Structure 1
Amino acid sequence: MTEQQGDQRHLETLDRDLARYSNLEMATSYVSRPMIGVGISLVFVLLAGIIAMLFFGHENNSLIVIIAACLGAYMALNIGANDVANNMGPAVGANALSMGGAIAIAVIFESAGALLAGGDVVKTVAKGIIAPESMGNSSVFVWAMMAALLSASLWVNLATWVGAPVSTTHSVVGGVMGAGIAAAGFSAVNWATMSGIVASWVISPVLGGVIAALFLWLIKSRIIYRDDKIAAARKWVPVLVGIMAGVFSAYLALKGLKKIIKIDMPTALLIGAAIGALVWIVMIPVIRKQSQGLENRNKSLKVLFGVPLVVSAALLSFAHGANDVANAVGPLAAIVQASQSGNFTDAIGIPIWVMVIGAFGISFGLFLFGPKLIRMVGGQITKLNPMRAYCVALSAAITVIVASWLGLPVSSTHIAVGAVFGVGFFREWDAERRIRNARLAMPDRTAFAPEERRRRKLVRRSHFMTIIAAWIITVPAAAILSAVIFYLISSVTA
């Protein structure tokens, strides 16, 4: 063997060793990434306990409140990991937002919604599902709330790991109900509230899906299927943006300003109509200018829906923070009050440090673990573009307002995911309709085989069945888990 061949052989061996080292480094990085997220989460949970100790350390029941604060922080992390995907998934799936941009916007607006407008729902979660007076004493009530927090957290954590966007609202409701039944029997549960929640299992996703499909039909019939798409867009996009502005204005007037001024539904709708009309007028010249030079094709239309979609995602995050912070801190606020004063039957007062734990926990959970479900909601159920994602966001806001008007306790998760399914199933129906019309016009055209027709389905049936199953079992699963945890706590503390 010549010296040159030996050097060549040595270099090849070195390349293989370096390649192995590179692969090992990549594998180590892949394995350590989840561990980093878990580590940061543990630090946050411990910080929540330290905050509780600083504010509550001088009280007799400080250890109970510290443990409850840690559980509330754990629940908030799970809400961020699972629930926030419903608001950001469509915008990311439509490529209107990058993953980093979506997380940044959600962190800011989720926190703002929780701190500025959160609170009302906290009282409902803590006192509306079970009758506190049926618990007998404050210790039993505290253990029930602890069991509810832990069971809901574990269930949402499991759902996130499986990849199912479940309702954290229903998880907490199931947890509170299960602990209440274990502590005081079935008579402790407010069955009227529970029947409304069960009704919302069906109403929320169906209403969200129908409204999203109607808006997609409007966009397709008035813009996409027109010969001059740009001219049609100049007419209809300002109208659609005006509707979005009006809907979100009404929603934020109802929910976001309640700490400053109480606004009833008719007044909120009037505010929404006025702002919607103003935005429609303002957007006419903006869309005209933005559409100049665009080609007459569907791809060009995506540009016109990009900014409205980003704005709608931000506003949905604000609304979600205002409502769903209750899932993390509702039971915690009840535990704090019962531990501090022994009073567990009166209205709940919510300390600011409790709201801060909920707000920052949701943000951390989204940042560390949210991308998995954001990708699933945004791209794996059905393919989304800016127009379809816009329909999802608008449907979610409208459905929540309608539900508030009807007094129905709905789930933002069910609404948003139902809207994604609605868009997907409408696309399937529309595609089938166009194929039938084309065959009528050209009878000799070969029809698709049944296997090919199944392959061309635009909604993934496996995701559909997994999510529906997770929705159905969320309340009973959380309730059973909570009852088991309550019995364990009771036996340890007896």
Structure 2
Amino acid sequence: MPDVMLLMLVLVIGAALAFDYINGFHDTANAIATCVSTRALSVRSAIVMAAFLNFAGAMISTKVAATIGKGIVDASNVTQMVVLAGILGAIVWDLITWYYGLPASSSHAIIGGLMGAVIAHAGSGALHWKGLENIVLSLILSPIAGVILGFIVMVVMLWSFRRTAPHAINKQFRRLQVLSAAFMAFSHGTADAQKSMGVITMALVSYGTLSAFVVPTWVKIACAVAMGLGTAAGGWRIIKTVGKDFVKLQPVHGFCVETASAGVILGASSIGMPVSTTHVITSAILGVGLSKRLTAVNWNVAGRILVAWVLTIPASAVMAYVCYQVLNPFLGK
């Protein structure tokens, strides 16, 4: 029995790090799509920068990890199989949306996956509905904040440089956009790597290695490295959707998008709220596009993105539920 439990723990840690790796290349577009589409950086340079800063951001805080690890379900209802099935459900959905180039949320996917696995194990009564309400509320409010802040920053920039020729503005902001993309990559690390930190720590508490929910240093490093490596692998499909197909961007637009997005994400991470970096930056792009005109937005692409957003939590929950039912007879005993 102890050997089986140890095997399950190893599988959970491996799956969580795989999720972080996939999150890295799935969400690379969040930090670099705009600077690639505006030619402020080459794809290779942007990915290397994002990989390094994702790693750095992942190391600075564990508040979001604690929210994921303790805010969804009581520790008494968490088993290794629950955690493993939840991660696998999130991974499957991330890969599906990556294949079709849809910027769906890895944050939503891991939350939905854990919900589906817990329901399969102990029923819906085992969920922390109050904690889930707060998490879902932050995931709803953050895109709204992204749209509003993206719109405001863009309008302020347009007003501030209203007497400057567009060519001169974009020449200057092409340089500044490298800094804003770096800011965005760092903020992405503070938010997204912590989801896997929370999941692994949850599994360690369930196994008995930890007596309380405190993220070990080795978990921080492992998750940060996995996300950095995944980011280095790139994610051109989603970069194309976010940076080219959705709204046509110039360097000044990219700077406004990345600055607004990073501000929202870092603010949320500082209070432990697991916002979706995908949703925030996509919403900021929408806000910047709306500052130009309604027709600047490709509403067909916006519709596809919205469908992916709406489906992510229930779809990943269903997949995790199925994973639990399939694997539990073999590994759950």
Structure with max Cα Rg: 1
- Alpha-carbon shift at residue 375 of structure 1 (Å): 2.7
Pick closer, same or farther for the CA change 1:401–1:482 going to 2, 3 Å: same
- Alpha-carbon shift at residue 404 of structure 1 (Å): 6.1
CA contact (8 A) 1:75 1:328 kept: yes
- Distance in 1 separating the partners of 2:308 and 2:68: 21
- Distance in 2 separating the partners of 1:406 and 1:71: 27
- Distance in 2 separating the partners of 1:195 and 1:318: 27
The residue that corresponds to 1:129 in the other structure is: 72
Count of equivalent residues: 331
- Distance in 2 separating the partners of 1:99 and 1:405: 30
Matched, 1:306 2:174: yes
Moved more, 150-159 or 184-193: 184-193
- Distance in 2 separating the partners of 1:88 and 1:347: 37
Equivalent residues in 2 for 1:51-130 (5 A)? 61-114=5-58, 116-130=59-73
Task: Say which of 157, 165, 171 aligns to 1:219.
Answer: 157
- Alpha-carbon shift at residue 64 of structure 1 (Å): 1.8
Between the aligned residues of both structures, percent identity stands at: 28
The residue that corresponds to 1:355 in the other structure is: 220
- Distance in 2 separating the partners of 1:211 and 1:329: 29
Letter in 2 for 1:172: I
- Alpha-carbon shift at residue 408 of structure 1 (Å): 5.4
- Of structures 1 and 2, the one with the larger relative CO (CA 8 A, separation 6+) is 2
Pick closer, same or farther for the CA change 1:125–1:404 going to 2, 3 Å: closer
- Distance in 2 separating the partners of 1:355 and 1:400: 19
Pick closer, same or farther for the CA change 1:405–1:360 going to 2, 3 Å: closer
- SS of 1:337's equivalent? helix
Task: Say which of 304, 307, 310 aligns to 1:466.
Answer: 304
- Alpha-carbon shift at residue 201 of structure 1 (Å): 4.2
- Alpha-carbon shift at residue 372 of structure 1 (Å): 2.3
Aligned-pair Cα RMSD in Å: 2.3
Pick closer, same or farther for the CA change 1:402–1:331 going to 2, 3 Å: closer
- Distance in 1 separating the partners of 2:99 and 2:68: 25
Q: Which runs of 5 or more residues in structure 1 are unaligned?
A: 1-57, 230-296, 430-456
- Distance in 1 separating the partners of 2:3 and 2:51: 33
- SS of 1:117's equivalent? coil
CA contact (8 A) 1:76 1:328 kept: yes
CA contact (8 A) 2:100 2:237 kept: no
Letter in 1 for 2:11: I
Matched, 1:142 2:80: yes
Task: Say which of 189, 198, 201 aligns to 1:333.
Answer: 201
In the superposition, the TM-score normalised over structure 1's length comes to 0.63
- Alpha-carbon shift at residue 409 of structure 1 (Å): 4.3
CA contact (8 A) 2:90 2:109 kept: yes
Letter in 2 for 1:63: L
CA contact (8 A) 1:81 1:373 kept: no
The residue that corresponds to 2:186 in the other structure is: 318
Moved more, 402-411 or 468-477: 402-411
CA contact (8 A) 2:104 2:305 kept: yes
Letter in 2 for 1:88: I
- Alpha-carbon shift at residue 336 of structure 1 (Å): 2.8
